[in-house]
Structure 1
């Protein structure tokens, strides 16, 4: 830790002249033993094990060379019970003294290798970390086919400690293996023996741990973590709640992880339905937010942490009874959130509104918060499916167009949930959401705000996604084509080449020849439209006056087909002959009309 980091750290760990931490020294063997018997709990306070095998290799190399590998940060919290630990079943203490806040990835790596235990990767699949070691020169490598065949390597150093052999036996066995293949000098034998002894003695590697007092709350712990963590990692409130799930509701945490893992595959083993969809591959913390919104009508997770710990807001005290009550609420809500029928019906409603897939979704927050309102409408207010689909589709259009959750999403969601938390009837719920929609999408929004939002070259602008969704909703074909945009954007069809391209209506090279060189102006979203990729290639940099005549003649469109195609793509009459900036202004207004028509068709 450098001096500046230490000063920041000292600033947070001193509270009214009272030190809230102490320094503890121990060796690695002791650390691993404490984890194994349960004195140190190792809940998933951060994320799944994400270190690469090469990073674990580098960790061992640093320790082997005697380099420091950083401190550990523990949180003394003896009031917690039933904490899940990694380690040997049957030898765990029920109440661990310490929880690991910083250093989890290092300690998990060491525990996995020293004890030969698997870890879970970012896809929640178990894997074994295998590190190889060459005693002749002290080189560490990630174990692979080459190291496994090479007699100069110990292909998996876990065996050094897990086999229970003495260092003398390990050295003797390795030397005998080498001597079977080649001769070694006395000098080389001494070097091999020395290097193997050093490897074996890594279990004596010294660690310094900083132990935070149990009186410190989770907000301060998170602040300490942020201030002193050299990798810029930040603990979120969802990390602490997921930790509580590991502590008091392991089944809930496991269900979340399993759901997220299965969402990566179209079908589960045996051909069973899965959460897979073309909108989102969720993470546990994202689904947790939906469950929390449904269970407690809260968008901010900070207060939910205290609720789940069993805090009584009247007395300020914590109780096991209250904690169990709150966890049961969360359990009921999570069951609904992870219900495959609810999950897929929600996405079906979005598809019915024209949002074909995640390619037309600009904000996952908007997606997940809309799902929360969908479940509230279904579970609490018992809306009929057709009414629910229509209402949530209109709501999703609204939050997409307005960027409702783009800034301070938790606070905005909290505010929206406050609007409905005391409602009693279906009609009240529908009325509150419709009022929020109408108050957002005002006449001024359609005539002033929305056209201005289209003055952009950003291809991920939510407004342009709403335009494409409206075209899909109205069964528009691609420009210069009789094929529907919805079919050409079908996410289930995988091809080497996309069926459609975003085509510059006024080609880039043509505009530059005309003296327009500002790419932000050239790449305005109003200068793009979907065409089939062969048409895009054929048009190239030809002026619109020329390529329009050629395409109309080649494809033999009728006047009515030509007129409707121009309307559906928001192209003003005689646009090809307009001055470019006038064309952009006129088309933005027509694009706004298309979006409004799509919204009003719901």
Structure 2
């Protein structure tokens, strides 16, 4: 790993060589954290490295370095964009440079070395102070360390003993090195992947900002178009799609280039995306219409995997606002693929690889060519419903809910059709309750882990659940409409005799078998 001295950092920033791309977040460190960094450098503690992307092409959109506007880069000099370490580099530069002034109402803290500070390993000897709190006999301004004239002037009032201490502190910073890694490439896809991996545990990569800054800032405002698209689909319950820039960008790349990987996103041209954006809009609207119509999905949160919208967008994409005419065979394949993707947990791992394959196969289906889109190996058995626990936000639970929805459930109290639109639009835990109530089962010494398996849940509203009461099923049967009990349980994929026998083990095993049979039937 290479190293960068503080003096070199200051020089390269002042020459416009080190810069901050627009896709980085702004400077957020407070004064105490800046002072704490100085203490770490002084005491030789590890304080992190910096990663630079070196290129000869200046980006169209950049950030300031903290409150400092950067000068234009010198010609024929490579530019080093900060991919990681911006907070540390800004803190070091802002503390020691003396040529640039903060802009507007922004300011930069003055950091001092405290000559009377406790020099132990834990306590910091560096403090950020306003002018009113500075003791001229105790606090030394470290922003003079790299300015010979200012440093000489600042040390005059100190004793020889104090000046010797300050000289040693200055020497430490002059010799300090910042570990750095430099990526020299014009391949923006590589840069995007590096940035994504660096920030995976920190600030999430915003590829939308990155692409807007790199490619489309002057000729096409992609962010505005995405906002317009979000407003367009919001009335159908999918306004949240507008907040998922990663999903939208993958839809773009899939339609334009047939691949949703980060490298493809980086290689797309702004002109091509602009010219084909109506196809992307039509495709996404068609995808949403399909999952709403075929699976009763009322909003993005209902989908076990939002990624399925990417291949579907490709299938329904058309020019000039035209709609895709779907054949019955195509509808069957698409539906089969969705159910198999959900039950196999297809997009829990290898997402990009699976998307690439599905995009290729869905394009064949669209062109009415032989397609293996729905040929995903999966066989659901009763263990799926006996081992998984119900959690409203979990993938398996969302799949289970869609399975229940597919049977058009009825109210356990009125026998009327459940208003699926209302239930799925609000989509919260209060619309799903135990078939064998918790209070009844806990009396029989069953644990929460056993009670909360999928096989013990149905679409029962809070009001219906309260009416039925926390009693044994054989008791709450009396509170159900007597002429519709069989019909209600059939629509709930629930075996009648085993439920009302009050035998939890036999009931859950029978119901799990019934659910598995229904699931596998959907995937044929």
Q: What TM-score results when the alignment is normalised by the length of structure 1? A: 0.61
The equivalent position to 1:301 in structure 2, one of 229, 248, 262, is 262
Sort the Cα spacing of 1:62 and 1:584 in 2 relative to 1 into closer, same or farther, 3 A: same
Tell me, yes or no, if the aligned pair for 2:437 and 2:471 is still in contact at 8 Å. yes
Tell me, yes or no, if the aligned pair for 1:24 and 1:210 is still in contact at 8 Å. no
* Residue 208 (str. 1) matches residue 160 (str. 2): no
The equivalent position to 1:400 in structure 2, one of 319, 335, 342, is 342
Deviations 1:495-525 (A, max 9, x none): xxx69342221223433433444x4432210
Task: Give the secondary structure class of the aligned counterpart of 1:484.
Answer: coil
Distance of 2:107 and 2:70 partners within structure 1:
23
Deviations 1:241-289 (A, max 9, x none): 9746533333589524x466778xx869xxx989983554544333222
Tell me, yes or no, if the aligned pair for 1:354 and 1:469 is still in contact at 8 Å. yes
* Residue 41 (str. 1) matches residue 19 (str. 2): yes
Q: After the TM superposition, which of the residue ranges 60-69 and 295-304 deviates more from structure 2?
A: 60-69
Q: Which residue pairs with 1:62 in the alignment?
A: 36
* Residue 26 (str. 1) matches residue 7 (str. 2): yes
Deviations 1:24-75 (A, max 9, x none): 54366545534xx4x2332256x544x7x5x434432325657465442223
Question: Where in structure 2 are the equivalents of 1:473-512 lying within 5 Å?
Answer: 473-481=406-414, 482=416, 484-491=418-425, 500-512=430-442
Question: Where in structure 2 are the equivalents of 1:454-465 lying within 5 Å?
Answer: 454-459=385-390, 462=395, 464-465=397-398
Distance of 1:293 and 1:363 partners within structure 2:
17
The Cα of 1:568 is off from its aligned counterpart by 0.8
Q: Which residue pairs with 1:246 in the alignment?
A: 213
Q: Which residue pairs with 1:84 in the alignment?
A: 61
Task: Give the secondary structure class of the aligned counterpart of 1:405.
Answer: helix
Tell me, yes or no, if the aligned pair for 1:499 and 1:532 is still in contact at 8 Å. no
Q: Which residue pairs with 1:14 in the alignment?
A: none
Distance of 1:262 and 1:200 partners within structure 2:
51
Q: Which residue pairs with 1:97 in the alignment?
A: 79
The gaps in structure 1 that reach 5 residues or longer are: 1-8, 10-20, 119-127, 139-152, 155-170, 176-187, 309-325
Q: Which residue pairs with 1:350 in the alignment?
A: 291
Q: Which residue pairs with 1:384 in the alignment?
A: 324
Task: Give the secondary structure class of the aligned counterpart of 1:454.
Answer: helix
Task: Give the secondary structure class of the aligned counterpart of 1:436.
Answer: coil
Q: Which residue pairs with 2:304 in the alignment?
A: 362
Task: Give the secondary structure class of the aligned counterpart of 2:436.
Answer: coil
Sort the Cα spacing of 1:410 and 1:246 in 2 relative to 1 into closer, same or farther, 3 A: same
The Cα of 1:225 is off from its aligned counterpart by 7.8
Question: Where in structure 2 are the equivalents of 1:174-193 lying within 5 Å?
Answer: 190=136
Sort the Cα spacing of 1:235 and 1:299 in 2 relative to 1 into closer, same or farther, 3 A: farther
The equivalent position to 1:436 in structure 2, one of 351, 365, 373, is 373
The Cα of 1:217 is off from its aligned counterpart by 7.0
Sort the Cα spacing of 1:417 and 1:82 in 2 relative to 1 into closer, same or farther, 3 A: same
The Cα of 1:411 is off from its aligned counterpart by 1.1
Sort the Cα spacing of 1:503 and 1:485 in 2 relative to 1 into closer, same or farther, 3 A: same
The Cα of 1:569 is off from its aligned counterpart by 0.7
Tell me, yes or no, if the aligned pair for 2:237 and 2:299 is still in contact at 8 Å. no
The Cα of 1:98 is off from its aligned counterpart by 1.2
The gaps in structure 2 that reach 5 residues or longer are: 116-128, 148-169
* Residue 416 (str. 1) matches residue 358 (str. 2): yes
Question: Where in structure 2 are the equivalents of 1:227-246 lying within 5 Å?
Answer: 233=201, 243=210, 246=213
Tell me, yes or no, if the aligned pair for 2:254 and 2:310 is still in contact at 8 Å. no
Distance of 2:440 and 2:83 partners within structure 1:
58
Distance of 1:105 and 1:512 partners within structure 2:
54
Tell me, yes or no, if the aligned pair for 1:510 and 1:541 is still in contact at 8 Å. yes
Q: Which residue pairs with 2:158 in the alignment?
A: none
The Cα of 1:528 is off from its aligned counterpart by 0.8
The Cα of 1:418 is off from its aligned counterpart by 3.3
Distance of 1:467 and 1:211 partners within structure 2:
48
Sort the Cα spacing of 1:254 and 1:223 in 2 relative to 1 into closer, same or farther, 3 A: closer
Task: Give the secondary structure class of the aligned counterpart of 2:368.
Answer: helix
Q: Which residue pairs with 2:253 in the alignment?
A: 292
Sort the Cα spacing of 1:103 and 1:261 in 2 relative to 1 into closer, same or farther, 3 A: farther
Task: Give the secondary structure class of the aligned counterpart of 1:26.
Answer: helix
Q: Which residue pairs with 2:380 in the alignment?
A: 449
Tell me, yes or no, if the aligned pair for 2:260 and 2:356 is still in contact at 8 Å. yes
Tell me, yes or no, if the aligned pair for 1:275 and 1:343 is still in contact at 8 Å. no
Task: Give the secondary structure class of the aligned counterpart of 2:432.
Answer: strand
Q: What TM-score results when the alignment is normalised by the length of structure 2? A: 0.69
Sort the Cα spacing of 1:379 and 1:358 in 2 relative to 1 into closer, same or farther, 3 A: same
Sort the Cα spacing of 1:359 and 1:576 in 2 relative to 1 into closer, same or farther, 3 A: farther
Distance of 1:255 and 1:189 partners within structure 2:
53
